[in-house]
């Protein structure tokens, strides 16, 4: 547990874009490059790599990202060799991405190499607990399962897919009865009460050859296009399909390991507030801020000179205040998702430099 496995490679998917952290996140600096997870100054991507280091050293970490993000990756995780950064010429969802990374690993270490796939932009509170669960999932992968981790749900969330538990297959793993689409509220409440459904957190564990066979069977155009030249033109023809829909939901011999390790997908400023260190009035503010009669606020200094600007809040509660060099956002925490409306408006105006 936590000990090195010489044959384990990690694939970290760092190609995501998104608008939910505007104005701090931008097209060239999306969420995974921001220190949103509560660790002072550490981008989520860097946290993801660091957290895996006890079982996968940086030399065996493959980062899959977009070509426009290569520089940001190099800055965020300088220990990962440049040759390990796979830059997708265009974004084509997770199935082509994982297939390409798996092909790369198979060429380097053979079909039997173990591969562990992780999103780059999630937070995990209990890192030793996480590594223990990863170890169990890798054990299932060694037995030629396509394995995943299912997060034990803590609320009736309607924004995630669920995994229904099947039979016990030993080593702390269960078979997957089925993958379930995002449920409505009533069904999500049933899932939480029933204790047979886990959240799908987008983590996958497999031998390279097992995944390649499954992809070839269920989305055969992916391996065909991966073999074509020129690569960029071929990749652009990839079907935009997720590994869940394209492969996992159709594959046999699926395993899931339940996990409880303080997982958070950091979905909005609300999550950042939840994860942040807060003062006695539940404010999460930059050092040196002045708060008077104010509770439950998040202020975020995303300027290029952090600490230069003094934040002063008087008589306000449950607000999010985000400051960057060229924009400032004020929004109630409970409406944090609606920052999308601002991004839509800036797009409509053609203010590309602020997107």
Contact residues: a copy of itself, CB under 8 A: 23, 290, 292-293, 308-316, 319, 321, 323, 325-332, 335, 338-339, 341-342, 345-346, 351, 354
For residue 96, the SS3 value is helix
Output 71 or 315, the one with its CB closest to a copy of itself: 315
Q: Nearer to a copy of itself by C-beta: 3 or 305?
A: 305
Task: Write down the least CB distance from residue 354 to a copy of itself, Å.
Answer: 6
Report the nearest approach of a copy of itself to the CB of residue 346 (Å). Answer: 7
- Find the shortest distance in angstroms from Cβ 272 to a copy of itself: 16
Report cis status (omega within 30 of 0) of the bond before 230.
yes
What is the DSSP secondary structure assignment for residue 246, as one 8-state letter?
Answer: I
Quote the least distance from Cβ 351 to a copy of itself, whole Å: 7
Question: Checking phi first, is residue 41 left (phi over 0); if not, alpha (psi -120 to 50) or beta?
Answer: left
CB-nearer residue toward a copy of itself: 46 or 319: 319
> Among residues 88 and 323, whose Cβ is nearest to a copy of itself?
323
CB of 80 to a copy of itself, least distance (A): 34
Distances (CA, A) of 262 to 11, 121, 151, 174, 351: 21, 14, 9, 21, 38
Strands 114-119 and 162-170: unpaired
Query: Within 13 Å and on the Cβ side, how many CA atoms surround 320?
Result: 25
Q: Which residue, 232 or 344, has its beta carbon nearer to a copy of itself?
A: 344
Residue 195: Cβ-neighbour burial (10 angstroms; 0-12, 13-18, 19+) = exposed
Residue-wise over 130-144: b if at least 16 C-beta within 10 A, else e? bbbbbbbbbbbbbee
Residue 343 has which token pair? 């991004």
Of 167 and 314, the one with the shorter C-beta distance to a copy of itself is 314
CB of 303 to a copy of itself, least distance (A): 10
User: In Å, what is the CA distance from 86 to each residue of 98, 252, 327?
Assistant: 11, 28, 32
As a residue count, the chain comes to: 355
| Least distance (Å) between residue 293 CB and a copy of itself | 8
Closest approach, Cβ 338 to a copy of itself, in A, equals: 5
Minimum CB distance to a copy of itself smaller for 14 or for 285: 285
- Integer Cα distance of 120 and 117 in angstroms: 10
Residue 223 to residue 102: CA distance in whole angstroms: 11
Taking the least distance from each CB to a copy of itself, the nearer of 125 and 290 is: 290
Q: Residue 156 Cβ, how far from a copy of itself at the closest point, in Å?
A: 24
CB 266 within 8 A of CB 37: yes
DSSP-derived 3-state class of residue 68: helix
SS3 call for 253: coil
Distances (CA, A) of 93 to 162, 163, 197, 213: 19, 20, 25, 19
Judged by CB, which is closer to a copy of itself: 155, or 308? Answer: 308
């Amino acid at each position: 547990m936590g000990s090195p496995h010489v044959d384990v490679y990690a694939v970290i998917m760092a190609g995501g874009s998104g608008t939910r952290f505007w104005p701090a996140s931008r097209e060239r600096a999306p969420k995974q490059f921001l220190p949103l997870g509560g660790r002072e100054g550490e981008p989520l991507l860097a946290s993801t790599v660091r957290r895996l280091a006890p079982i996968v050293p940086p030399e065996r970490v493959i980062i899959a990202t977009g070509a426009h993000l290569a520089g940001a990756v190099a800055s965020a995780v300088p220990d990962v060799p440049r040759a390990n950064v796979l830059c997708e010429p265009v974004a084509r969802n997770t199935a082509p991405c994982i297939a390409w990374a798996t092909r790369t690993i198979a060429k380097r270490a053979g079909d039997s190499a173990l591969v562990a796939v992780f999103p780059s932009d999630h937070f995990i509170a209990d890192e030793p607990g996480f590594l223990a669960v990863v170890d169990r999932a890798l054990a299932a992968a060694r037995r030629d399962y396509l394995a995943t981790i299912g997060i034990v749900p803590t609320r009736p969330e309607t924004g995630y897919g669920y995994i229904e538990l099947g039979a016990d297959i030993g080593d702390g793993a269960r078979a997957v009865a089925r993958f379930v689409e995002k449920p409505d509220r009533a069904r999500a409440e049933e899932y939480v009460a029933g204790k047979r459904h886990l959240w799908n957190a987008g983590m996958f564990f497999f031998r390279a050859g097992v995944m390649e066979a499954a992809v070839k069977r269920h989305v055969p155009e992916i391996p065909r296009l991966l073999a074509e030249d020129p690569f960029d033109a071929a990749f652009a023809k990839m079907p935009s399909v997720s590994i869940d829909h394209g492969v996992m939901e159709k594959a046999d011999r699926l395993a899931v390991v339940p996990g409880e390790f303080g997982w958070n997908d950091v979905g909005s400023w609300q999550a950042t507030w939840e994860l942040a260190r807060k003062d006695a009035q539940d404010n999460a503010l930059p050092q040196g801020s002045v708060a008077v009669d104010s509770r439950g606020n998040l202020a975020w200094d995303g300027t290029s000179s952090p600490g230069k600007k003094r934040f002063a809040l008087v008589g306000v509660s449950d607000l999010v205040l985000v400051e960057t060099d060229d924009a400032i956002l004020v929004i109630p925490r409970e409406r944090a998702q609606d920052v999308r409306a601002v991004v839509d408006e800036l797009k409509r105006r053609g203010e590309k430099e602020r997107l």
